[in-house]
Structure 1
Amino acid sequence: MGRTLVVVGATGAVGRAVLQTLGTRSVVWDELRLAASNRHAGEAVSAYGQQLLVQQVSPQLFAGADVAIVALPEEAARVAAAMAGDAGVPVVDCSPVFRAEPDVPLVIPEINPAQVNNRPRGIVASPSASSTAMLTALGPLHQGWGLESVVVTAMQAVSGRGDAGVERLVAEAESLVGQRSIGLSPGDVRRLLDLPDHSPFPAPVAANVVPVTSDLDAEGWSMQEARMRREARKVLGLPDLKVAATTVWVPVMTAHSLSVHATFGSKITADRARQALVEGSNSVVVLDDPENEDWPNPVDVAGSEPTFVGRIRSSPDFPRSLEVFVCTDNLRKGAALNMVQIAETIVGEDPFAAL
């Protein structure tokens, strides 16, 4: 019997990345069913070398399927997951809605693949893109030296807000074209933007860094920052791991960048860390060649699947700590690839065969 994969949210930014990723994998799905919101139903989408019609999300969509990948906003993800569950179909979800649930495993296949089989509700959650980037890079180092704490700043690309985020940055950049003196006096960028007020960002993102990425709690931490703390603890199985995260929006289309200060249980050197990363997961690429100025840059990482690590430094002031710079395409390994790898693991395939 052939294997059937359902992709729900196939017309969104992450859903499109899922379809692109499937074409690079060695695992073959004999049937691919696509679904999206009602306004996209009936559209033809290119996937797997064929034109497939996008369906509405319905119980019939999941009948007889082997796995469902869900790339939808939170409430829509709940509905789709419930339908798939009623049909007995395992769900791989990338929304925040299930990540903190104690009976839903949170999985990065390079780190905790066995948790895929521990799914009492039939759901496996994929972490946020920033968490996935950080943990994919730190996983091999944790195995060797025992991670104790992390201080991280995640510089998030606007595609983290989906198509709306990309469209907003393009519109703002076009509005500022030819303005050679922008950013030289207070508020000039805001005054020059000739755009409607509605935006997925709380401040201009072009020529700017936006220091808040989501709503704040009573202590001033954003939801995304709190998620990074919870997700790191859950994926690594370290409930007492100390994590302090800052997430910001930067004027980059695709690929999140992270500056990470990681402290371990024993002394670690930059050379040993590089060796561990090179010899570890084949989804990590070390780019750390100062002589040739070869480091991870989001403009070079966009559209690729690995997690890139560079600027690896050990400080004489912190002998058990390491500084690293991490880049990953937030739509690929940060979402689509990780979900595809989870789906492959569910059906008993090697999730690293195509890497």
Structure 2
Amino acid sequence: MAGPGQTGRSGRPTLAVVGATGAVGTVMLQILSQRADIWGEIRLVASPRSAGRKLAVRGEETEVLALTEEVFDGVDVALFDVPDEIAERWAPLAVAKGAVVVDNSGTFRMAPDVPLVVPEVNPHAVRMRPRGIVANPSCTTLSMIVALGALHAEFGLRELVASSYQAVSGAGRAGVATLREQLALVAGTELGTSPGDVRRAVGDRTGPFPEPVALNVVPWAGSAREDGWSSQELKVRDETRKILCLPGLPVAVTCVRVPVITTHSLTVHARFEGE
């Protein structure tokens, strides 16, 4: 596969996947392999410690490149699947090199000059990107917004109450590793039958969660924010308002972490005009 600065597949845009070795990046490579006829060159980019690894994409073994400014030379679109602080630093540099950035972090979602786009709901918004960056919502918002957007277009949404039951993969590889470690600890024991016994057995090995997730549900996801809300709950509220262009929409959200590896679930109670 061509390296930076070389011509990719004729007539097709060059794509950079930044964070290719992460949890989301791994899924992205699977999707790209299912749609192999869209892109020309695909550059896989990650931290210097992952540089040189080989990953499969479109049936080809492709070497991972270290994240540098030069890696964006000639790139048309850069997909960022990295922590917020990495996106904040590197996305503008990719734009300066001429790329359109599609960012999966929370860094730019609520910036007024960055569109928050879900193609099935507001595809027109992608054309207005003064900073050269397009954001996409969190996975919890994304799980409901396509259906909610269609209903809003037809009936006019006026109030939303939602609860999310979020898999540990929402906390990345660390979340998945924590659940697997805790499941191994409790397997074959009587833990989970007495109040606090799992907590005592796990000790401080809770990973990115405030409490054990094995044999448990944790009524908290994210970090503390104003008025007693968690960051995950405010994400769902604020992202829904922005995508649907309803800045004053009354929204109440409760986010709960559940002991499954992947797939979030939600309950959604929506009220529409005329109800």
TM-score bracket for this pair, using the shorter chain length = over 0.9
Q: Distance in 2 between matches of 1:182 and 1:264?
A: 46
Aligned match for 1:242, one of 228, 243, 250 = 250
Tell me the alpha carbon deviations over residues 306-329 of structure 1, each in whole angstroms, 9 at most, x when there is no partner: xxxxxxxxxxxxxx3xxxxxxxxx
Q: What residue identity is the alignment partner of 1:60?
A: E
Work out whether residues 150 and 242 of structure 1, in 8 Å CA contact, stay in contact via their aligned partners in 2: yes
Work out whether residues 58 and 83 of structure 1, in 8 Å CA contact, stay in contact via their aligned partners in 2: no
3-state SS in 2 of match to 1:60: helix
Normalised by the size of structure 2, how large is the TM-score? 0.93
Aligned match for 2:268, one of 260, 266, 288 = 260
Aligned match for 2:199, one of 190, 210, 215 = 190
Aligned to 2:38: 28
Work out whether residues 165 and 264 of structure 2, in 8 Å CA contact, stay in contact via their aligned partners in 1: yes
Deviation at 1:27, TM superposition (A): 4.7
Q: What residue identity is the alignment partner of 2:54?
A: A
Q: Distance in 1 between matches of 2:226 and 2:103?
A: 28
Aligned match for 1:205, one of 210, 213, 219 = 213
Provide the identity percentage.
Answer: 49
CA RMSD after TM alignment: 1.3
Please, which runs of 5 or more residues in structure 1 have no aligned partner?
267-319, 321-355
Q: What residue identity is the alignment partner of 2:20?
A: A
Q: What residue identity is the alignment partner of 1:29?
A: W
Aligned to 2:4: none
Aligned to 1:106: 116
Number of positions where the alignment pairs a residue of Structure 1 with one of Structure 2: 265
Q: Distance in 2 between matches of 1:192 and 1:97?
A: 36
Q: 5 Å matches for 1:265-284?
A: 265-266=273-274
Aligned to 1:14: 24
Aligned match for 1:148, one of 153, 158, 170 = 158
Q: Distance in 2 between matches of 1:114 and 1:27?
A: 24
Q: 5 Å matches for 1:1-355?
A: 1-25=11-35, 27-179=37-189, 181-193=190-202, 197=205, 199-266=207-274, 320=275
Normalised by the size of structure 1, how large is the TM-score? 0.72
Work out whether residues 6 and 62 of structure 1, in 8 Å CA contact, stay in contact via their aligned partners in 2: yes
Q: Distance in 1 between matches of 2:226 and 2:204?
A: 30
**Structure with higher RCO (Cα < 8 A, 6+ apart):** 1
Please, which runs of 5 or more residues in structure 2 have no aligned partner?
1-10
Q: Distance in 1 between matches of 2:112 and 2:211?
A: 35
